[in-house]
A and B are shown apart, each in its own frame.
Chain A
Amino acid sequence: DAKTTQPPSMDCAEGRAANLPCNHSTISGNEYVYWYRQIHSQGPQYIIHGLKNNETNEMASLIITEDRKSSTLILPHATLRDTAVYYCIVRVAKTNAGKSTFGDGTTLTVKP
């Protein structure tokens, strides 16, 4: 699976959009981009995934660049409960999901 690079930490003001970047310059054509988050001392939670088109669900939007070498997770109106570690993972979709490599992620702190 391709390696990803994320900033170690970011701050965001409550109510503002949080934009979390991820670089995956060695991504292969059949690898998807997945995002998870982990709130302190809980299990990681799936947020969203995409291949090459932008995706949106009730939690977030995922913007993938045309060359697929980077992506941005957008939380449109961050709340204090969005404070968590956010993980960007790239993986071939139909391989064993459990082999996803969770790196250090980005610690997002939403401030009042």
Chain B
Amino acid sequence: ETGVTQTPRHLVMGMTNKKSLKCEQHLGHNAMYWYKQSAKKPLELMFVYNFKEQTENNSVPSRFSPECPNSSHLFLHLHTLQPEDSALYLCASSHRERGNTGELFFGEGSRLTVL
């Protein structure tokens, strides 16, 4: 139990569907992140949110739409995905206060399959 919870753990969707991934952290952190991990590839940072504001978008296609309503919750809205978007999507959080060395806490991930 890392204090970061992701739902659903597994998701299968068609290319025309709209679905959302949810992440919730119970650690009092103020920064949250979405990563993508495709088979046999390193983790790719997708989005960064600091104090609910998006501060980084690493050239992610618009079919992925993040939302951060508060510092504890992060969503990734998915629409018109492609089969190559099938991957493990990981949420992480960290604390950005002064003096904190800012290790990352990850959720278990949401395994997405696009048919």
Contact = CB atoms under 8 A, between A and B. Distances in A.
Interface of A: 32, 34, 36, 41-46, 49, 93-105
A95 B92 CA distance: 15
A42 B35 CA distance: 13
B102 A102 contact: no
B81 interface: no
Contacts of A102: 42-43
Interface residues of B, number: 30
A111 B43 CA distance: 26
A9 to B, nearest CB: 13
A88 B49 CA distance: 24
A93 B102 contact: yes
Contacts of B104: 36, 44, 46, 97-98, 100
B94 to A, nearest CB: 4
Contact of B31 (A34, A36, A98, A104): A98
Given A43-B90, A43-B92, A43-B109, A98 B103 contact: no
Contact of A98 (B2, B6, B92, B108): B92
Contact of B106 (A43, A49, A95, A105): A43
12 contacts: A42-B109, A43-B91, A44-B92, A96-B102, A97-B31, A97-B102, A98-B33, A98-B92, A98-B104, A99-B45, A99-B56, A102-B43
